[in-house]
Amino acid sequence: MKIKVFQFEIHFGAVEENIQKVEELFNGASLENIDTVVLPEMWTTGYDLENIDKHATENLHPVFDAMAKLAKRHDVNIVAGSVANNKGKGVLNTAFVVDRQGKFVHEYSKIHLVPMLNEPNFLIGGENSADVFEIDGEKMGVVICYDLRFPELFRDLSLEGAKVIYVVAEWPIERTEHWLTLLKARAIENQCYVVASNTIGTQPTGTTFAGNSLIVNPFGEVLAQATSDEEVAIEGDLNLEYIKGIRKDIPIFDSRKKEFYKFL
């Protein structure tokens, strides 16, 4: 399963420009052998939270339609990062997935809003857990940025059968070590692939983002890593059969003692 992760700078609060930019990235990339393309968090707006009401999609439209067109044109699945999204009760931070036929597969709205970037003052949290979805017959999950700090979410997804967990993010540069360490830890402890897309550049809020988009295998080895300050695409060839071998050699799922875990 071949994955391409786009890492790019987001034009602050410029939805149309960002959609156009993503279209150009798809049209300029070599995608012939790629199964799935991954985008970062809140890529249509960045952290323009003061204006987030006016930027938000209505139930993912019209951004969904633009992604569906790209998926069909390039014959790829898209883990379409996340966007500010209004479903009637306030603005959510919603990740979504579109398949090669341009069909809606899955959505997940961030449940852990990040206090350090002021999200709780402008956004509402998702009301559903991060469930698995299937693309090309394989189970996967997607979570959003600050969610990375909550191992429970990753454990739930892997217990439900996710072999790949996507992390779509706008992770700040001062916590780069947390980003890299936690991505590897989540892959090792759940023995699954972790595929992460982050943004770069400094937004007018003063936050500079860490880049370092990453693909980690179930043994914790880095298959591909972007730099901290460049617009690049990284690629990984995920061998989902490899997961079986790792889980046989280090059988953590068989060794679990859930009767002793107090808060699960």
The residues annotated as belonging to the active site are 41, 110, 145
Respond yes or no on whether the N-terminal peptide bond of residue 115 is cis (omega within 30° of 0).
no
Cα–Cα nearest to 43, from 80, 87, 3: 80
Query: Judged by CB, which is closer to ligand LYUYDEPV: 43, or 146?
Result: 146
Query: Judged by CB, which is closer to ligand LYUYDEPV: 149, or 256?
Result: 149
Helix (H/G/I), strand (E/B), else coil: 81 = strand
CB-based closest residue to ligand LYUYDEPV: 145
Q: In angstroms, what is the minimal distance from the CB of 255 to ligand LYUYDEPV?
A: 29
Tell me the two tokens of residue 4.
Answer: 């391409």
The Cα 33–Cα 56 span in angstroms is 33
Q: In angstroms, what is the minimal distance from the CB of 65 to ligand LYUYDEPV?
A: 25
Interface residues toward ligand LYUYDEPV, by CB under 6 A: 41, 114, 116-117, 145-146, 149, 170-172, 175, 178
The Cα 131–Cα 97 span in angstroms is 12
Query: Judged by CB, which is closer to ligand LYUYDEPV: 8, or 26?
Result: 8
Residue 60 dihedral angles phi and psi, to the nearest 5°: 80, -10
Q: In angstroms, what is the minimal distance from the CB of 93 to ligand LYUYDEPV?
A: 8
